[in-house]
Amino acid sequence: MSTTEQTPAIQLPALQPPRRYLFGPGPSMVHPRVYEALSKPIVGHLDPYFIQVMGDVQQLLKIAYGTEDGATLVISGTGSAGMEAAVANFVEPGAKFAVFANGYFSDRLTEMAKRQGANVVRFEKLWGETFTDEEAGEFIQREKPKVVGYVHAETSTGALQSGRAICTAAHEAGALVIGDCVTSLGGVPVEFDRTGIDVAYSCTQKGLSCPPGLSPMAMSQRAMESLRARTTPSRSWYLDLKLIHDYSTVSHRYHHTAPISMFYALREALSVVADEGIENRWERHRRCNKAFVKGVEAMGLRMHVPEQHRIATLNTVCVPEGVDEAKVRKHLIDGPGIEIAGGFGPLAGKVFRIGVMGPLATEENVQFFLKEFKKALSAAGYSS
């Protein structure tokens, strides 16, 4: 090729994503106001306007998390980045880390702690089961860990774990508590202060109805004191919460180039939550969950998790005998464009994971889904 010849241009069609109804465990549907916020002009990550946006997000997060005294900030990364930030900053090498293990994301929490050099001890239960107050207290009293970790709303199973007894027992033992709130924030009560959580992390693409890309965090005064007292630096520079807190809250000195548009989106998503009222939002999701369960049980289907331990925004429906769940999901995506998820790990092929959250959490949308779900099950050979 001569120096005057040019490489042929790549001809790509215009972006035309298919219309989907996101009834999976996440991402959820994005609120129209959030899409509008994403279209706004960006400024620099040290611009006074962006600093104000970060401050607005931190204040709005206090409402969503249910904290008055806690410090809030946002990690530039998905929920797994928030998880790793929590572990890297509060679980030091050699420290005992006690994990309540009953699903995929408690396993991920375990793996991250092991990579930090922690001494990990686990209280294990089957996927979908939860821990009683007495079991939590006995485990923590026996192990006397420095840090305790649990998953509030386990995405892989649909099980909701109360954290109050865990936090009480941990504090009595002098331990900090890390709570995974990825699937609960914005749709299910977290009640950070009332529960006693010390470090919580979440994501943007589930209960907050925002695109994925950020991880909102909350830290108690106890956690902040522990962070300030740490003498060895975090093994992760990018996820060093001392540096991130200083950039986002204190000096605003450069740490990293934050994703400006995603902060706009999160600010608007949290504004939508505040406008609706966090209690009203919880009640809307509870109401839709009841309608959903009533509908699937009318089809002769069973829920995987007992009623008192279900996540209102994420349903795990048992796959009926003789039905190929992959065929049901394919029928839904190829036909009405509905996305749901199957199970994985020990629950592979055994459950459907169906999210009813954000803009889709309305009576009309629940009935729309149930009608199409029944058709897909019938096409796969199921008759109620």
- pLDDT tens column, 268-315: 999 999 999 999 999 999 999 999 999 999 999 999 999 999 999 999
| Residue 55 clears pLDDT 60, i.e. is over it | yes
| Residue 112 clears pLDDT 70, i.e. is over it | yes
Sign of the torsion angle spanned by Cα atoms 52, 56, 59, 65: negative
For residue 88, the number of C-alpha atoms closer than 13 Å in the C-beta half-sphere is 17
**What number of residues does the chain have?**
384
Q: What is the Cα gyration radius of the chain? A: 22
pLDDT digits (tens, 9 = 90+) for 221-259: 999 999 999 999 999 999 999 999 999 999 999 999 999
Domain that holds residue 156: 32-274
pLDDT bin (cut points 50, 70, 90) of residue 384 is confident
Same structural domain for residues 243 and 285? no
Task: Report how far Cα 144 is from the mean position of its chain's Cα atoms.
Answer: 28
Same structural domain for residues 167 and 231? yes
Answer yes or no: is 12 within a domain. no
Domain boundary among the residues 215, 245, 274 is at 274
Quick check: 203 and 79 in contact, CB under 8 A? yes
Same structural domain for residues 124 and 269? yes
Mark residue 176 as left, alpha or beta (left: phi above 0; alpha: psi -120 to 50; beta: remaining): beta
Answer yes or no: is 122 within a domain. yes
SS3 category, 22: strand
Q: What was the pLDDT predicted at 223?
A: 98
Domain boundary among the residues 274, 291, 309 is at 274
pLDDT bin (cut points 50, 70, 90) of residue 9 is confident
Q: Where are the alpha helices (DSSP H) in 127-175?
A: 133-143, 164-172
Q: What was the pLDDT predicted at 200?
A: 98
Same structural domain for residues 361 and 245? no
- Distance between CA atoms of residues 131 and 55, nearest Å: 37
Alpha carbon separation from 174 to 137, 167, 219 (Å, rounded): 13, 10, 16
CATH number (domain holding residue 264) = 3.40.640.10
Q: Which two tokens stand for residue 362?
A: 């309305």
Same structural domain for residues 63 and 151? yes
Q: What was the pLDDT predicted at 7?
A: 78
- Distance between CA atoms of residues 361 and 78, nearest Å: 23
Cβ burial, residue 359 (10 Å; 0-12/13-18/19+):
middle
What is the pLDDT averaged over residues 98-104? 98
* Overall number of domains in the chain: 2
Cβ burial, residue 19 (10 Å; 0-12/13-18/19+):
exposed
> Which has the closest alpha carbon to 83: 68, 63, 95, 97?
97
SS3 category, 124: strand
| Residue 3 clears pLDDT 60, i.e. is over it | no
For residue 272, the number of C-alpha atoms closer than 13 Å in the C-beta half-sphere is 22
- Distance between CA atoms of residues 2 and 80, nearest Å: 48
Cis peptide before 27 (omega within 30 of 0): yes
Q: What was the pLDDT predicted at 2?
A: 54
Answer yes or no: is 3 within a domain. no
